[in-house]
Chain A
């Protein structure tokens, strides 16, 4: 059965190996240049506050065009985001191309009547297939993640040294960063694969199953950072001044007043889940104080209905002087690994549940 699994999986394995090879070669070719830039930026020998300035310079150099390229941003920035994208979609690809056709093709072509009448049970057939290919999916995705993390180490270090806001500063908890670093890729790969196999079994046709798998997986990847991840652990709350939170006041359609914080005082590296303006009594404030409206129109020219960008210091000070502070809901930095384990565990459990369903359904003779 191991031989048969390999023989049927061979073409997909070769494709994955080729993609991984390209990925690794491209990153390896540029890795030494990247670390060279890091070494020559002075970040190796800096101390304390001087570092954050150097880090910001380093990162903005990476992000900038550098002149001469048609594409926005330097090649390093493009490589960074492309490589993260690869890790992000790898579980979807393995789910769609490895998982969905696994059972569906056999049912579609009738070959199940050949294979499931050899001297092995359906349970054994599925066990070997799920284990070998599932582990392969997890290994491939995690390998992409590790290679990318090795390549992007200088960037990570710079961000950690206080690199301020740049396109790289999404931080460990970022929407794209959290599921592509650490151990979460394993959970996503297992879930994507199990999802594919299950849809294939239920729908019984490979192409429709591939489409449904992609749709469901994309939905999950959208819903998880929005509603699930923040609540895997109870969130912490704090109320602080607009200035201390590095917050910016801006106008939106609903709520009218948005206070967007960028740090939690005393909690470096925290993940800010939400921030709202509150009054002195701690109640949410959703409209801008009347007295500040002229300040806004002065700086922007229009204040009704349209979203106003990151406010100026004048707007921030005006709003703050009216007793409006910012309430932040956050996960401290120390929750990073617990969140990683929880989310990975959750998706692994989901994958195992789906697999269990597949075993049950496969053995159920209608």
Chain B
């Protein structure tokens, strides 16, 4: 399967600080990719590099096999929804659709019209007076009606109320189901993305911490609980992501490719949210090897 986004050592520097560093990814096509991380982690920077708004300070990036924004043909293949869904406040909905029709040779007017009807948007209403959810929906219509191969969405549901958020994701999933378009969307909340994404990239502190298909990640990460043990004494092949200890018990989140055979450990599955949180914690505070003070009770 071809990669929709391929990066090699990608980095971006602003005023001395690296907003993104050492990013090497190969995102396969045909997935809904969730880019998750705390605010300021570098998600928007990565997406801006993918759309060609920024140029790399280090490394390379290729989108659909080409340099980002390399020309009109490349721009037509990528649909983009920026943070806070920028629209022309003074232009009505109908004129936004005309904008799409005039500026995109691949524009599907019928699809756009059907979506707007289904969303019950008033064609004459100025975009500035639409609600947050309606703006996001209109912006999504503009991004998808040009029939791109890749959709890039920067925190599309961050400022939406729960109902608008659900409706947006429903529409997005319907588009994915209909068109086989690859999607990369970012959020600082994994719960937004859990149901929609089948590929996850965790970005914390300018670096990619873990990336891969959700199924594979869930299958290779386990929660081990057992008697108090020094993580360094674990067998090789078991990568400790996070560890917490009481005086008698250790709970570890580990990554491994094989089964855990040591009978002293109770092995249980890990949910996506807990997995992401563990990587975020690891980035904030690398798991201490032998920290007696670290008293964290884990359920």
Report the bound CA distance from A117 to B72 in whole Å.
9
Q: Which of B80, B87, B106 contacts A117 (CB 8 A)?
A: B80
**A45 part of interface (Cβ distance < 8 Å):** no
**Which residues of chain B from 42 to 73 have a CB within 8 Å of any chain A CB?**
51-55, 69, 71-73
Nearest-Cβ distance from residue B156 to partner chain A, whole angstroms: 13
Q: Which residues of B contact A115 (CB under 8 A)?
A: 99, 103
Interface bits B245-287 vs A (CB < 8 Å: 1, else 0): 0000000000000000000000000000000000000000000
Report the stretch among B27-35, B88-96, B186-194 that lies at the interface. B88-96
Residue from A110, A117, A120 whose CB has the most chain B CB atoms within 10 Å: A117
**A7 part of interface (Cβ distance < 8 Å):** yes
Nearest-Cβ distance from residue B203 to partner chain A, whole angstroms: 20
Residue contact B75 to A110, C-beta cutoff 8 Å: no
Residue contact B52 to A121, C-beta cutoff 8 Å: no
SS of A interface (majority): loop
Report the bound CA distance from A220 to B51 in whole Å.
40
Report the bound CA distance from A114 to B79 in whole Å.
10
Residue contact B84 to A365, C-beta cutoff 8 Å: no
**A202 part of interface (Cβ distance < 8 Å):** no
Q: Which of A1, A3, A8, A109 contacts B86 (CB 8 A)?
A: A109
Report the bound CA distance from A9 to B66 in whole Å.
34
Q: Which residues of A contact B88 (CB under 8 A)?
A: 8, 109, 111, 114
Residue contact B72 to A121, C-beta cutoff 8 Å: yes
**A4 part of interface (Cβ distance < 8 Å):** yes
Report the bound CA distance from A180 to B288 in whole Å.
78
Q: Which residues of B contact A7 (CB under 8 A)?
A: 91, 95, 98-99
Tally A residues with Cβ within 8 Å of B: 20
Known A3-B98, A4-B99; judge A117-B86 contact (CB<8 A).
Answer: no
Report the bound CA distance from A115 to B86 in whole Å.
10
Report the bound CA distance from A109 to B84 in whole Å.
11
Number of A-B contacts (CB under 8 A): 70
Q: Which residues of A contact B72 (CB under 8 A)?
A: 119-121, 124
Known A1-B102, A7-B91, A121-B71; judge A114-B54 contact (CB<8 A).
Answer: no
Residue contact B99 to A117, C-beta cutoff 8 Å: no
**A366 part of interface (Cβ distance < 8 Å):** yes
**B104 part of interface (Cβ distance < 8 Å):** yes
**A113 part of interface (Cβ distance < 8 Å):** yes
**A40 part of interface (Cβ distance < 8 Å):** no
Nearest-Cβ distance from residue A142 to partner chain B, whole angstroms: 29
Q: Which residues of A contact B55 (CB under 8 A)?
A: 365-366
Known A110-B86, A117-B80, A119-B75; judge A366-B102 contact (CB<8 A).
Answer: no
Q: Which residues of A contact B197 (CB under 8 A)?
A: none
Residue from B69, B89, B103 whose CB has the most chain A CB atoms within 10 Å: B103
**B181 part of interface (Cβ distance < 8 Å):** no
Q: Which residues of A contact B52 (CB under 8 A)?
A: 365
Interface bits A117-137 vs B (CB < 8 Å: 1, else 0): 111110010000000000000
Residue contact A118 to B86, C-beta cutoff 8 Å: no
Q: Which residues of B contact A365 (CB under 8 A)?
A: 52-55
Interface bits A254-283 vs B (CB < 8 Å: 1, else 0): 000000000000000000000000000000
Interface bits A236-249 vs B (CB < 8 Å: 1, else 0): 00000000000000
Residue contact A1 to B103, C-beta cutoff 8 Å: yes
Nearest-Cβ distance from residue B77 to partner chain A, whole angstroms: 9
Nearest-Cβ distance from residue A145 to partner chain B, whole angstroms: 32
Q: Which residues of A contact B98 (CB under 8 A)?
A: 3, 7
Nearest-Cβ distance from residue B240 to partner chain A, whole angstroms: 40
**B76 part of interface (Cβ distance < 8 Å):** yes
**B146 part of interface (Cβ distance < 8 Å):** yes
Q: Which residues of A contact B54 (CB under 8 A)?
A: 365-366
Residue contact B102 to A113, C-beta cutoff 8 Å: no
**B214 part of interface (Cβ distance < 8 Å):** no
Q: Which residues of A contact B160 (CB under 8 A)?
A: none
Report the bound CA distance from A3 to B91 in whole Å.
13
Residue contact B102 to A4, C-beta cutoff 8 Å: yes
Report the bound CA distance from A3 to B99 in whole Å.
8
Report the bound CA distance from A17 to B212 in whole Å.
60
Report the bound CA distance from A225 to B109 in whole Å.
55
Q: Which of A119, A124, A366 contacts B105 (CB 8 A)?
A: A119
A contact residues vs B (CB 8 Å cutoff): 1, 3-4, 7-8, 109-111, 113-121, 124, 365-366
The 8 closest A-B pairs by CB, nearest first: A118-B103, A365-B55, A113-B82, A110-B86, A119-B76, A117-B80, A119-B104, A3-B102
A-B contact pairs, 24 of them (CB 8 A): A3-B102, A4-B103, A7-B98, A109-B88, A110-B86, A111-B87, A113-B82, A114-B86, A114-B87, A114-B142, A115-B99, A117-B69, A118-B75, A118-B100, A119-B72, A119-B73, A119-B75, A119-B104, A119-B105, A120-B72, A120-B103, A365-B52, A365-B53, A366-B55
Given contacts A8-B88, A113-B80, 12 further A-B contacts (CB under 8 A): A4-B102, A4-B103, A7-B95, A7-B98, A111-B88, A113-B82, A114-B139, A115-B103, A118-B100, A119-B106, A124-B72, A365-B53
